[in-house]
Structure 1
Amino acid sequence: MTVPTSPPGYNLTKIGVVGSRRIARLDEPFLIRKIDPRHEKRSKGEPQMRNWKPTLKTALIMIPLLGTGAAAAHADSFGAISLSPATGATGWSHDYSSRWEAEEVAQSHCYKYAGDCRVAIWFKNACGAVARGPDGGWGADWAGGRRQAQRAALAACSNHAYGCEVIRWQCSGGY
């Protein structure tokens, strides 16, 4: 018994078996063609892909540029909170380029209301908070977000006083 074969370009489909004989039929002709993307037509507005091969020269040029953009986008930003332990007056600053500037500005704002101001907390690209109890005890701390800084300041204050409340919080660097 011979097995039917299909001519080139046709697909052989088995229909069934009748007795010992196979019945088969030829389906519609099909064509297999390789599509080369370089010769394929594009519709308007469709982006054209080019064959880009990274080279060592390209990498050496791009690496320093990538580093500069990241550093510029994430420049350090300092802030500070000053406190008068006697009166509870505060002064604050945010988004300064150095710790010294941030502390100076916070101190100068606090000195407008009290003479015994001191820097309670400084922070970089973060948030800071100061909490104070009714008996004058206080605590300060910093964290990555406002609520975390407030919780940390309350915890620090509770080591020195009871009934602490956050009296000032400030964030720097877009936090």
Structure 2
Amino acid sequence: MKNTIIRASLLGLVLAVSSSSGHAGECGYEKCWGAVAFGHKGRISYSFGKWSERAAHRKQQNPCRWMCSEVHTFYNKCAAVARGADQKWAISTARTRDLAKDKATKACSATSYECRVIVWACSR
């Protein structure tokens, strides 16, 4: 019985995550705010599709439990944060997710090593 409940919970989580990624935010796909953030102990968070910069900032803080110290908002574009093995980081914005991720990785690699994208979000 316990295994059935766990499996049902995991299936629900998978369905929620996979179905939510294709949906527009509350303001649709255009002219929206988003935010990416990270903080102590590797906490990361993001928000997208918000009507205002303040709403994007507040929404991303919930998963961080208000412990994300680096918060960057963006309007009608994509943003990505890359972090190196030595914990140095870089953030970039661009028109597309892939371009934002590439730019963040390159910017991080200029001052660090083994850089990888730790969080990204798009508000368009």
CA distance in 1, matches of 2:96, 2:30: 18
Structure 1 spans left out of the alignment, 5+ residues = 1-72
CA distance in 2, matches of 1:160, 1:110: 26
Q: How many residues align?
A: 98
Q: Relative contact order (alpha carbons < 8 A, sep ≥ 6): 1 or 2 greater? A: 2
Runs of 4+ aligned residues of structure 1 deviating over 3 Å after TM superposition are none
Post-superposition offset of 1:156: 2.1
If you compute each CA radius of gyration, which structure gives the higher value, 1 or 2? Answer: 1
SS at match of 1:87: helix
| Residue identity opposite 1:93 in structure 2 | S
Given that residues 92 and 110 in structure 1 are in contact (C-alpha distance below 8 angstroms), is that contact kept between their aligned partners in structure 2?
no
Give TM-score, length-normalised by structure 1: 0.50
SS at match of 2:93: strand
Given that residues 44 and 68 in structure 2 are in contact (C-alpha distance below 8 angstroms), is that contact kept between their aligned partners in structure 1?
no
Query: Is structure 2 residue 54 aligned with structure 1 residue 129?
Result: no
| Residue identity opposite 1:108 in structure 2 | N
- What is the aligned-residue RMSD (CA, Å)? 2.2
Q: 78, 82, 92: which is aligned to 2:37?
A: 82
Give TM-score, length-normalised by structure 2: 0.69
Given that residues 32 and 51 in structure 2 are in contact (C-alpha distance below 8 angstroms), is that contact kept between their aligned partners in structure 1?
yes
CA distance in 2, matches of 1:165, 1:75: 28
Relative to its length, the structure with more helix (as a share) is 2
Aligned match of 1:155: 106
**Identity in percent:** 34
Given that residues 76 and 124 in structure 1 are in contact (C-alpha distance below 8 angstroms), is that contact kept between their aligned partners in structure 2?
yes
